[in-house]
């Protein structure tokens, strides 16, 4: 009873007519920006969905075709090839990005002299233009670039990775990890700050090593951040385009021809915008399904 008396239930605040009137006026001022946001945020998505059921082409009349574009996708070998490339790239890039993000977060977790500088340097690729960086990586992965020199020093094949069908996706995955791991580092670093130091110190006194302390104490508390990173990085990987466009153009032999690159070709090279919209719809559905699976596997709370 004493505890109840010390912590009474919060009383519900009732707003008077004046406060409700101010709220309505505030919403009225916000309404123009809200309408513009909804129109330009959701309008293109709705338009793209509707165009997927038409034969819309620039300069020609538009007709409703139902599921014809989606039937074309099913029988289009290039679509299945680009989907395979996108999935393989995602399988390579997402685990590497999350792993690199975790390593950088653990490395810069403790405050030390220059720690803020290191965090800034690791985050710098996130705000660097990927188009500009891709021109540098073209030289790095060329046959006479530093990457080939390192491969030759290790007595490994030193050919250009971007001209090899088996190595072009790993090369693109390296670029993706470089450009994204700084963002993941900040997300995990923020979550690491909430891990109680007392638990780790108690485990250390009980003789738990670094691996056990991380696995049983730190990792469970990073689960929400891991789920968030997995969804964000999977979405970004399914939408890979900039590096592919700049570094390989979908080659060699369509080995890096991603789903978004096919969407770009269909819409802006052949002006078949209805078919391109259908590709976008399928990509959206795949991304949502993968996010639901990740939610069930990673993000579900016990």
- CATH architecture group of domain 76-299: Orthogonal Bundle (1.10)
Confidence of residue 9 (pLDDT cuts 50, 70, 90): low
pTM, entire model:
0.85
pLDDT of residue 4: 43
Nearest CA-CA partner of 172 in 89, 94, 272 = 89
How far is it, in rounded angstroms, from Cα 93 to Cα 37? 32
Torsion of CA 245, 250, 255, 259, to 10 degrees: 80
Residue 6 pLDDT greater than 60, yes or no: no
How far is it, in rounded angstroms, from Cα 223 to Cα 225? 5
How far is it, in rounded angstroms, from Cα 89 to Cα 96? 11
Q: What is the pLDDT of residues 41-85, one digit of tens each?
A: 888 888 888 889 998 887 778 888 889 999 999 999 999 999 999
Confidence of residue 154 (pLDDT cuts 50, 70, 90): confident
Confidence of residue 301 (pLDDT cuts 50, 70, 90): low
pLDDT of residue 210: 78
Residue 3 pLDDT greater than 70, yes or no: no
Nearest CA-CA partner of 123 in 72, 181, 65, 175 = 181
Confidence of residue 89 (pLDDT cuts 50, 70, 90): very high
How far is it, in rounded angstroms, from Cα 118 to Cα 135? 25
How far is it, in rounded angstroms, from Cα 65 to Cα 54? 5
pLDDT of residue 209: 79
Confidence of residue 233 (pLDDT cuts 50, 70, 90): very high
First to last CA, the chain: 33
Nearest CA-CA partner of 294 in 106, 98, 83, 100 = 98
| Encoded tokens for 236 | 């970004």
Residue 12 pLDDT greater than 70, yes or no: no
16, HSE (Cβ side, Cα atoms, 13 Å): 1
Residue 151 pLDDT greater than 90, yes or no: no
Confidence of residue 299 (pLDDT cuts 50, 70, 90): low
């Amino acid at each position: 009873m004493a505890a109840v008396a010390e912590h009474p239930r919060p009383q519900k605040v009732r707003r008077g007519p004046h406060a409700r009137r101010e709220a309505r006026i505030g919403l009225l001022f916000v309404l123009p920006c809200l309408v513009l946001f909804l129109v330009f945020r959701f309008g293109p998505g709705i338009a793209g969905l509707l165009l997927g059921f038409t034969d819309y082409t620039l300069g020609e009349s538009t007709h409703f075709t139902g599921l014809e574009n989606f039937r074309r996708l099913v029988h289009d070998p290039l679509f299945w090839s680009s989907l395979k490339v996108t999935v393989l790239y995602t399988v390579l890039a997402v685990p590497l990005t999350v792993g690199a993000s975790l390593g950088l977060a653990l490395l810069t977790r403790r405050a030390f002299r220059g720690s803020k500088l290191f965090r800034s340097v690791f985050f710098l690729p996130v705000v660097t233009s990927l188009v500009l960086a891709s021109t540098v990586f073209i030289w790095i992965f060329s046959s006479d670039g530093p990457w080939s020199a390192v491969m030759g020093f290790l007595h490994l094949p030193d050919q250009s990775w971007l001209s090899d069908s088996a190595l072009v996706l790993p090369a693109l995955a390296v670029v993706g990890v470089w450009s994204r791991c700084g963002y993941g580092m900040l997300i995990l670093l923020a979550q690491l700050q909430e891990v109680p130091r007392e638990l780790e110190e108690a485990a250390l006194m009980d003789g738990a090593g670094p691996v056990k302390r991380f696995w049983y104490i730190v990792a469970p508390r990073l689960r929400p951040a891991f789920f968030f990173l997995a969804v964000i990085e999977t979405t970004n990987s399914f939408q890979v385009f900039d590096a592919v466009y700049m570094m390989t153009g979908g080659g060699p032999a369509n080995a890096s021809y991603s789903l978004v690159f096919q969407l770009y070709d269909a819409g802006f090279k052949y002006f078949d915008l209805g078919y391109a919209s259908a590709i976008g719809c399928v990509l959206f559905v795949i991304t949502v399904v993968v996010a639901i699976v990740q939610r069930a596997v990673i993000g579900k709370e016990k």
